[in-house]
Amino acid sequence: MTAYDVIVLAGGAAKRLGGADKPAVRVGGRALLDRVLAACAGAGATVVVGGRRPTARPVTWTREVPQGGGPLAALGAGLRLTTAERVLVLSADLPFLGAGTVEALLAAAEEGGREGALCTDPDGRDQPLVAAYRAEPLRRELALIATEHGSLAGLPLRLLTAELDLARVDAGPHAAFDCDTWDDIAAARARIREHGAVLDEWITSVKNELGIELDVDTGVLLDLARDAAHGVARPAAPLTTFLVGYAAARASADAGPEAAAAAVADAARKVTALALRWEAEADSGGEGAGTP
């Protein structure tokens, strides 16, 4: 992936949330800001513009001048702390932003001499805070705007995006979904509990909570839990998956995530076979008692 830095805008008064600390509002058990940070974990420098607060991974903090000066002022403050040729710019209230959208934006920003790329929402509206920009033209335009208007404070983002040659990326119906109201928060919380999304959301949240960077085949583990519950006893399912994880951790000690994932798969395969042997014995009753 292209080397890049990221600026996350986490300021603002959140008036439509009654002045709540929006970046700290939780969706799926994780703060909105932490969900955004997880999507851009590959960044070289991560700069968050806003009031300091606990985060799931280390970041560099800064504030716009004056405080409350708006997104252009915040972007200018964050940009001063970046050095990469590509800069990802994100708001801190994107609950469904994923690494795939980040990769798509960075790739689009490199095509055909473009100066950046931004997401469009399902209604075709530009989302300049879900975007990747080339740093040089971004610095140039911000400097020109500051010179023309005396400062960046209180100015709209469209003054910037209107001057840049930007690609548009349709990232689907949810990547650019932002949470401006409590209704938006409620909708986001409801969506992650939908049948098709809840398991992935839960596993991702658990891995983030435990600081685990491990890509395992959850289908294998679910099949193992099913076989243990059916072939042995229902309480065997959670205990078995725990033991598989413990064995995998021992087998892959001091190894990387790929080795750990392979160890999980290997342990799951062995224990699945064991559970099926238990089931076969139960089905056969006393038949074949002498068969190994």
Tens-digit pLDDT profile for residues 104-122: 999 999 888 899 999 998 8
Q: What is the mean pLDDT of residues 176-187?
A: 91
What integer is the mean pLDDT of 251-275? Answer: 84
Predicted local confidence at residue 156, as pLDDT: 92
Model confidence band, residue 285 (pLDDT cutoffs 50, 70, 90): low
CA trace torsion 114, 165, 42, 119 (10° rounding)? -120
Instruction: Give the pLDDT of residue 42.
Output: 92
The rounded distance, in Å, linking the Cα atoms of 105 and 101 is 6
Output the pTM of the full model. 0.79
pLDDT greater than 60 at residue 1:
no
**What are the distances in angstroms from CA 70 to CA 18, 75, 133, 155, 168?**
18, 9, 19, 7, 24
More confident residue, 285 or 143: 143
Query: Percent helix, strand and coil across the chain, each rounded to 5?
Result: 45, 15, 40
- Report the sign of the C-alpha dihedral through residues 223, 229, 234, 237, in that order: negative
pLDDT of the residue at 290: 43
For 15-29, how does the pLDDT look when each residue is reduced to its tens digit (9 = 90+)?
778 778 899 999 988
Say if residue 73's pLDDT is above 90.
yes
User: Is residue 118 left, alpha or beta, with left meaning phi > 0 and alpha meaning psi from -120 to 50?
Assistant: beta
Whole-number mean pLDDT of the chain? 88
C-alpha to C-alpha distance for 132 and 190, rounded to whole angstroms: 29
pLDDT in tens, 228-254: 888 888 888 888 988 888 888 888 887
